[in-house]
Amino acid sequence: GTRIICDRKFLLECKNSPAARTPPCCLPQTPGVTSLAQSSLVKLEELKERNESQEAMPDQDQFEMDI
């Protein structure tokens, strides 16, 4: 096999290149892979609403006991 050897300086320069920071412009839009699926967007919104409603509720004991 063939080995490709790169020095540290070259690899650090590649990390900061603009091509390494953004996805390709011609990438196809595949729901759930390259972009969030519509159903997952709805689920994310529902989770946010639940978290907000739980934060608005006062602290309660984990279990209520009847004495």
Q: 0.75 cut: is pTM over it? A: no
> Is position 54 within any domain?
no
pLDDT of residue 54: 67
Domain-embedded: residue 56: no
pLDDT tens for 13-37 read 888 888 787 777 777 877 777 766 6
Q: Residues of 10-44 as b/e, b for ≥16 C-beta within 10 angstroms?
A: eeeeeeeeeeeeeeeeeeeeeeeeeeeeeeeeeee
Residue 19 belongs to what domain range? 6-49
pLDDT of 36 = 64
Is it the case that residue 58 has pLDDT exceeding 70?
A: no
Domain count, the chain: 1
pLDDT band, residue 47 (cuts 50/70/90) = confident
Cα–Cα distance, 43 to 49 (Å, whole number) = 10
* Mean of per-residue pLDDT scores for the chain: 76
Residue 16 included in any domain:
yes
